[in-house]
Structures are given as C-alpha cells and as structure tokens.
Chains A and B, each alone.
Chain A
Amino acid sequence: MLLSAITFFPLLFALLVACIPGSRARVIRAVSLASSLIVFGLSLVLLAKFDRATAALQFVERLPWVPELGVSYFLGVDGISLWLVILTTFLTPVISLGSWGSIAAKVKGFHVSLLVLETAMLGSFLAMDAILFYVFFELSLVPMYFMIGIWGGARRIYATVKFFIYTMLGSLMMLLAIIYLMYAHHDTVGVFSASVLDFYKLKIPFVAGSFINPQTLLFFAFALAFAIKVPMFPLHTWLPDAHVEAPTPGSVVLAGVMLKMGTYGFMRFVLPLFPEAASYWAWLFIFLGLIGIVYGALVAMVQPDIKKLVAYSSVSHMGYIIVGLFAMNVYGATGGLYQMLNHGVSTGALFLLVGMIYERTHSREIVKYGGLAKALPVLAILFLIVTMSSIAVPLTNGFVGEFLILMGTFQVSKAYGVVAVTGVILGAAYMLWMVKRVFFGPAGELVENTGHPLRDLSPREIVVMAPLVVLIFWMGLFPNHFLDYSKVSIEHLIETRDNYQLTVNPSEATDVARTTPRSEAGK
C-alpha cells in the first residue's frame, strides 16, 4: 500500500486544495506545502524500508485493471526508480515553497496542478505495467501544459502547445509499440499481459543492419518517445521555448523531474527490452548525445537570456546522461543515474535562483546586469555554489556523476571520451562567463537603478535553497550514501542486459501470487 499512498496522496491533497476558496491564498499555499511534505515523509519511509541487497522489485502492488487485455495496476520499486521517486517527492515541497514569490495569481489552480503533476510523475516512475506507465506518462503533460500556459511568459501559448504536441507524437508511437508487445506476449505465451516484467521475457526478432524488423522498429518507437522527453538533439527544440516561457516553478519541475522520465524510460524500457537493437544502435545515441553536449554548450554560450542559457545547459547535461546510459557499462549507467539526480538538484536550484533574480528586476537579459554580487551577496554565494555543481567541480555532486560517465565513455572509445571532455570545458566556460557578467564587474543598468531597491534573499528563499545546497555537497562528498541503494540494480541491469529479467522480491511473492489476476486467454 505504501507505493499507492505515495502516488495518490498528492492527488487526494489536490482535491482537498481544490475545495479551499480561491481567495484564501495563504491557506492554499500552506496546505499544499504541508501535503507535499507529508508525501516526502512517506517516501522517506520507503527509503528506510528499502532492501538494498536485492535487484528484485519491492513493495509490489498488483491488481487487475483491464483483464481482457492483461492490463493491471502494477506498482513496484527497485534501485533504478527509488531515487527518482525521492527526487520527485523532495523537489515538490521545495517548488511549492519557492512558488510563493513567483505565483501571485490563480494560486489555487497552480497548487492543484503541481500536486496532480506529482502524482503523474511518481506514477510514471513506479508503474511496472506498460499501459499504466503510459497513462501516467501522458497524464503528466496536462498539468504541465496548464502551468506553462497559464502562468507563463509572453509566448507561453506557443511554447505550451509545442511542448504538448511534440511529446504526444513520441508517446503515441510508444503506445503502438506497447500494444504490439502485448500481442507478441499473447502470441508466445497465450495470455495477454502488459506487465513490463513479462515483456522482458519476450524474445523479439532482430536483424542487424536493417530497419524493417520488429525489434528495431519497437526500439525506435520507444526511443523516440523518450528522446523527445529527454530531450536529445535534434528533438530538443521544444525545451528552450518551454523553459523560457514557463514560470519558475514550472521550469524547476520540468528540468528537475520531467526530463528524467525520458532517461528513466531508456533505462527501464529501451535498454533491457531491446538488447540487440540497443547495442547495435548505441553508436547513434552516443553520437547524438555527444552532439547534444557540445551543441547545447555552444548555444548556451551565446544566449543573451539567463534562463535560456540554463535551458540549453540542460540539453548539454542531458546529453551526458544519454552517453552514460548507452555506454552500457556499470560506470556509465551508474553515472547516468547519478547525473539524473544531480541535474534535478543543480538545474532545479539554478532555475530557482534565476527566478529569484527575475522577481527582483523583471529582466533576464545578461547585458543589463553586472556587479550583482555587491547588491545581493547571499544570492551570489548560492549562485556560485550551484554553478560549481553544474560545472562539476570536485566535492560537488556534479563531479561524481560526470566523472563516472566519462569513465564509462572512455571504456567504450577514447574518441567519445575526448569529445565528452570538451563538453565539460565548454560547460565551465559558459557558466563562469555568465556568472562573471551577471555578478561581477561594473554595476549594470538594472543593478545601478535605485528605482527598485534590490533586497537580498528573504528567510523563505533561504529555506528554499538550503536543502538543495546541502544535497549538492552531501551527494558530492558521500556518493555512496546514495549509490549503495542502486548498485545491485544497476549491476544486474548491465550484466544480464542480453537476457534481463526482473523478479518480484521473494518475500513478497506469495502476496503477489494471491493478487495476480487470472489471465484470461483469448477473447
């Protein structure tokens, strides 16, 4: 029941918030924050009870949903999804508190959207039934669509519709692939099933070097959906638009968690379901990932808008994760997973800080700043710390992730490694250059202007940033506190990738047998 509670509590709280009159903004904010903290507490219970010695699926819940087609309500958690769940539940209260400054109108609608979005994101990470996963995956679009469209900037409608349609195109192809797999399971085993665990057992025919064979097509159908979500070069064009137009909390959710749904999809579905195709086409994805790293960094360098710069840095960082995952060794995969968390924390923090600057000056143009460090010392220090994490300075979390990914990449090929390393250098260049132009040097027009006094961070804003900064160092200094939980699962994924099987934790197996639906053969 724990996983269901974690997944659906936000939805229940959203209904609760919806019942509060819209004029009581403070009550709404408090209730929303409290509820997201409760969910975070529940996820800590999950963390405490999690058995890190096994790669099997834990806390399994399974009920028939559409037994006619073998679709079930099937939740489970393993070392791959565990930290993403925690990341989601951790970031939501931070975002909730952070939104107090940036979301002034229609507060109720915003918090309802945020909580519904949390349910959708958690559901995507926990669902072990492909159709259930698809439902959550798509459902997450709707609240995000409203967030960008209602509270966004001037071109918000263009951005939000583009975001929605782009993502939808990819995921519908995935839906077809899922349906195909359901019938493939029916043809080989005789019963319908949409369980990912059952999909792993399928042997899907693969022909190297040709497109028209089941495994390659299915591989690309899934990969397209996730590549758009990540987003990988050249499918990334929706991301800068969405980020620039989204309100600060929307950007944080988008960068912090929603992009991870794509990389998680690669880890959960693409790599283990289609091992031959994934190995055969790995070069393509590494290649595109590397282009993303370098291209994202170069484009970020020339951005006049801070937020757009951070958005393109996301493209670059997500490129690392893709390269790490498709390196297909333990280093790369571990680094990929770790970098997902890092990116969530540090890019989330960057967006929050950019939002805080914007709230003070209502501009994000880099040229209008300069010397901000004198006016806002606390903000400048925090910004510097987060920048260090983003450019992977040792002792911060970013270093661990990128180092692991580069280790994995060098194992595959030195050439790949060299290109990836240039990305690290470029990343340092554009971030530090931006920091220099915004925080140091002569005071810019916005900083000079005494018309609107610049106040440094309020206690609330410091509370928002504190957990993120703590995590940046914690994850940088003691990566094992985090990676120990995922180690077994990742090793299991990489070592048995050609014949990946995921079992349900034996101690829960009896329970599962009782609740497993009688699969109905035929129709």
Chain B
Amino acid sequence: MNMQLLKDIVIVSPLIALFALSLFPVMIKVFRGNREPNPYVTLFLGFMGLSLATGLTAALSGAKQTAFSGAIVFDGVTAWMSYLVYLITAVSLMLSFDHVATKGRQFAEYVFLMLNSVLGMIVLIMSNDLIVTFIGIETMSLCLYVLCAMGKEDVLSKEAAFKYFVLGSFASAIFLYGVALIYGTVGSTVFPEILEAVGTLISTNKLFLIGLGLVTLGFAFKVSIFPLHAWTPDVYHGAPTPVTAFMATAVKASTFIAFLRLFNSDGYGDAARFQGVLEWLAVLTMLIGNVAAVMQDNFKRMLAYSSVAHSGYLMVGLIAAGFGSNFNAGATSVVFYLFSYSLMTLGTFALVAMFERAENTAMSMDDLKGLAGRYPLLSLSLAILLLSLAGIPPTLGFFGKFYLFSAAIEQDMYWLVFWGVINSVISVYYYLRPIVMMYMTDDQPAEVLGAHLMTRMTVVFTALLVVLLGLASSPVLKAVQRSVVNLF
C-alpha cells in the first residue's frame, strides 16, 4: 500500500469511524433476531461514533491538508464545522431519544441513518471537488428522506418524506446538470481550477454562467432559498421534530460551507449581474420567509419559515464574501452566524418536541398559553432563544447579525443590509408572539409536559449558551476568524 493512500485514509478517518460505529446498532439488531437493542446502548454507540469522529478531527486539525488528489480538503473550517455538526447531531439524538415518534421500535436504524447523514455532511464540508460535493449531498439527503418518514403513524411524515424525496431528486438533477456544464467549460471539477477560471469565464462564457447558476440552484434547494424554498414548511412540519431540528441546522451549516467554497474567488468581482440575481434571491428569501412566518399559527411551520428567512440573512454574508474584496470577513460572519443560528434553532425545536406527546399532533401557538406560570425556567429559556433569533442584544443572535451586517457594510452593500434590517424588524413580530402567549395571556394552566429530561436540558442549556456566548462572543469570533484565515 503506498504512503499517499495511507495518508489520504488518515484524513478521512473521522468518516470511517462514523460509518463503523453507525453499523453497530443495526448489526446488534440483526444478530439478535431483529429485536431492538436496548435504546441506551444504541444511544451510547451513537455518541461513541460522534466522539470518536470529534477526537479524530481534533487530532488531524492543524495545517491545511488535501487528500485523494485534491478532491478532499481538511482545513480550519472543516474542523470547525465538523465540530458543529457533531454537536448538533448529539443534541438531535438526545431529542430523538425522548421523542414519541423516534424512540422505540426502530431506534437502531434511526441512529444508523443519522450518523450516515452526518457522514454525508462531513463529506460535503470537506469536499473540494464538485463531484465529491454531489456525493456528499446525496448521502446526506438519502438518509434524510428516510429519517423524515420515521414518524410511524404520522401521515404528514410520509407526505413530507415523499415530497422531500421527489423535489430533492429534482434539485440533485439540476445540480448535476450544472456540474456537467462547468466541467464542459472549465475541463475540471476541482474547486481550485474552477475558481481560477471564474474570472475569465464568467463574463465571456454563457454556458459556464448557466452551469454556475444551476449549481447555485442545487445548493439553494438544500438551504431553502427562494424560489426553491416551498418544500420547507411542509417537510419541516411533517418530519419528526428531532429530525426537523437536525435538518434545519446541520444541513444548512454543511451546505453553506460548500456554497462558500464555491465563492472563494476574486473572479466574481466582475459578475455584477450574477451578483444582482443573488442579491434579489437573498432579499426575496428574507421577505417571503418573514412575511409567511408572521401568518403562521402552527409553531413548527413558523419556525420553518423563520429558517427560510435565516437562509436569506446567510446569503447576505455569502454575497459579501464572494463578491466583495474581503472574502475572509464575509466567510467569518457566515460561519459565526451558522454557529449561532444552530444553537438557537436547536433549543427552540427542542421545546417544540416537548409538546408532542402523541403523533399526528401539531403544536400551535395557543399551546404555549400560560406556560410561564407552570414552567418558569422553560419559558424564560424559550423567551431568550426567541429574542436571540430576533437579534436582540446581548444574545448570540445579535452578534451573529452584527458581524453579518458588518461584513456586508464593509463591502458597501447598503441596499442588501437595508433589507436585512427591515426583515429583522418584521421578524420581531412573530418571535414576540410566543412570548406574548407564554407570559401575557390570561393565566390558564398550561399543558403538563412529559419528563423529557434531555430535551429539557437542551432547551435550558442552549438558552444559557446563547446569553453567555453572546456576552463573550469575542473568543468564538477569534477562533472562527483563525479557522477561516487558515483555510480555503
């Protein structure tokens, strides 16, 4: 075996660890004659896989390395985003363990699918080649399609999975078509070569531009950017809540990183029209997400639309990174925002999960009535998380927006930032509504929630982190900055 291959394998060892550990629960189940292993064991094995992968990632991080002839890259951002995805997954597993739709009969398969979805995400984060990106997206998505359908009796869950699958395949095809066009015009699918060619091709070669546009659309579907956002509310609503939490955070985080890598070139500076299109997409994404969220009574759908809106904010950072003169500042703000957004969203969905005692139930805003009287700590935590999503200081959400808008203002993109601000104001309206329900409606005893120890802890801890890391955002920012500088 030659040394190069060995080195390459070492670089992807977190992936191997994840895959190996993901097999354990299902293997146990197979060898026990299709009897479900103890869920604690399954959960433990899932955590083992994640911590092993985290450990290996930590051991590998350092200088930028590439593997498999440059198709895979391991750099600061890879490490950072991997940690984030592992964290999200660990929390999602905890939520799933408590949740009615996912615990029980098929937990072993569930953990298998989740870890393999993570595997796809890490491939996506590491990919330095459009084909590898595609493989990452597909691995991630195929697992997600099944995960969405894990609600055993829930009709909406099946509908969500089917909808997601059909539309997702469509988006993958669009993506692949774009890759083909880029390959045809550049002669390579490796990012560095594409990015080098951008400067000359983008204004002269229509075919390349179309290819780039199609690839962008493929990404846009995964992170629900207008006009490919329409699946989001239905799928987020139908999928079991822990899966929704996982999708809303980890998928967005990993896809945006791949998206960022594609924009790491000075060549985009001249592509004013392409930039214009992306800016409009960002603005419309924010607007549609926020305006639609205002009209929702179903809490989960409201969060789904809010996640669409947050994709719009992230696009602002992405455009600042790609089309401005300072890629690092933009990329830092995007990575930081992903981090803050993931924390807040996880906590909020965790609370939603607590309200679902049976399948086929949807949590409405009215369910929150009187919550503050019965559950003061939970209500306070949710209030903090929502205020953070709205970007009220001194929470993490405020600093996320602050850095994002800073990056865009540095590039003189005032128009874009102006829309970001208008949207933040709109969003305040619907983020305040649950708080109104919890604290300001006439007291009537709230529903009695299940014990759900781990879910409860998630809500409280994310809220605590959102405040603490908000007050001390500087170390986080510095770490992100360092990872971004030594990257790409």
Contacts and interface: CB of A to CB of B under 8 A. Distances in A.
Given A66-B477, A139-B392, A141-B392, A182 B406 contact: yes
A281 to B, nearest CB: 20
Contact of B474 (A65, A134, A173): A65
A169 B425 contact: yes
Interface stretch (B9-17, B81-89, B432-440): B432-440
A69 B418 CA distance: 21
A135 interface: yes
Contacts of B428: 164-165, 168
B439 A149 contact: yes
Contacts of B410: 183
B409 A183 contact: yes
Contacts of B406: 69, 179, 182-183
Contacts of A169: 425
A66 B473 contact: yes
Interface string B323-335: 0001011001000
A156 interface: yes
A180 B409 contact: yes
Interface residues of A, number: 34
B394 interface: yes
Interface in A143-160: 145-146, 149-150, 156-157, 160
B329 A139 contact: no
Given A139-B393, A176-B421, A68 B440 contact: no
Given A135-B393, A142-B392, A156 B425 contact: no
B478 A161 contact: no
Interface string B394-426: 100011001101100110001001100100110
Contacts of A161: 429, 432, 436
B481 interface: yes
Contacts of B432: 145, 161, 164
Interface residues of B, number: 34
Interface in A171-189: 172-173, 175-176, 179-180, 182-183
Given A68-B481, A157-B436, A164-B428, A176 B409 contact: yes
A491 interface: no
B95 interface: no
A138 B425 CA distance: 13
B387 interface: yes
Contacts of B398: 135, 138
A142 B384 CA distance: 10
Given A65-B474, A146-B439, A172 B425 contact: yes
Contacts of A156: 440
A64 B478 CA distance: 13
A523 interface: yes
Contacts of A64: 474
A427 to B, nearest CB: 34
Given A66-B474, A176-B421, A138 B440 contact: no
A14 B117 CA distance: 45
Contacts of B394: 135, 139
B474 A172 contact: no
A523 B409 contact: no
A165 B425 contact: yes
Contacts of A150: 439-440
A179 B410 CA distance: 9
A248 B424 CA distance: 31
Interface in B468-488: 473-474, 477-478, 481
Nearest to B394: A135
A479 interface: no
Nearest to B406: A179
A67 B473 CA distance: 10
Contacts of A66: 399, 473-474, 477
A137 B332 CA distance: 26
B371 to A, nearest CB: 13
A160 B432 CA distance: 10
A68 B417 contact: no
A138 B409 contact: no
A149 B406 CA distance: 33
A445 to B, nearest CB: 29
Given A164-B428, A179-B405, A523-B481, 15 more contacts: A65-B474, A66-B399, A69-B406, A135-B393, A139-B392, A139-B394, A150-B439, A150-B440, A168-B424, A168-B425, A172-B421, A172-B425, A176-B418, A176-B421, A523-B326
15 contacts: A66-B399, A68-B478, A69-B406, A135-B393, A135-B394, A135-B398, A139-B392, A145-B432, A157-B436, A161-B429, A169-B425, A172-B421, A176-B417, A176-B421, A523-B332
Across chains A and B, which 5 residue pairs bring their CB atoms closest together, nearest first?
A135-B393, A149-B440, A66-B474, A172-B421, A169-B425
